[in-house]
Amino acid sequence: MLTVVWSQACPLRCQCPREPPECGPGVPLMLDDCACCLVSEKGPVCVLDGTVYRNGQTFFPSCKYQCVCRDGQVGCVPRCNLDVMLPGPDCPAPRRVQVPGECCEKWVCEPQSQAEASALGGFAMAGE
């Protein structure tokens, strides 16, 4: 069995134009297939917050989201599960807190007496 592998013949020494090519709006420069000369990016790209991403590239604009560039469109999914993992009915007063050193907030349950005091602005009712 014979396997044929195609590869681009790259020059031993790069011979690039003195000036890099001018690309269209939102199209970045990149190295060619030989990592030799600058060329315009091929295919659709995505721009998010001033950063250009290649088609098919997965990226993390923040620790809370994972995104992918597809055909010039950015699609993101959350990496935090706050809306998926909700507190159960045994947690009458859940609240989200930021844990030092962690990206995603966490749900915590306060004991019922603390929750009632919080609802009253921190004042407990007389007789408790």
Distance of CA 37 to the CA centre of its chain: 30
Query: Among 23-27, 56-60, 119-123, whose mean pLDDT is lowest?
Result: 119-123
Strands 94-97 and 65-70: unpaired
> 120 exposed, middle or buried (CB, 10 Å; 0-12, 13-18, 19+)?
exposed
pLDDT tens per residue, range 20-47: 888 877 677 888 778 888 888 777 788 8
Cα–Cα distance measured from residue 75 to residue 87, given in angstroms and rounded to the nearest whole number: 28
Per-residue pLDDT at 84? 66
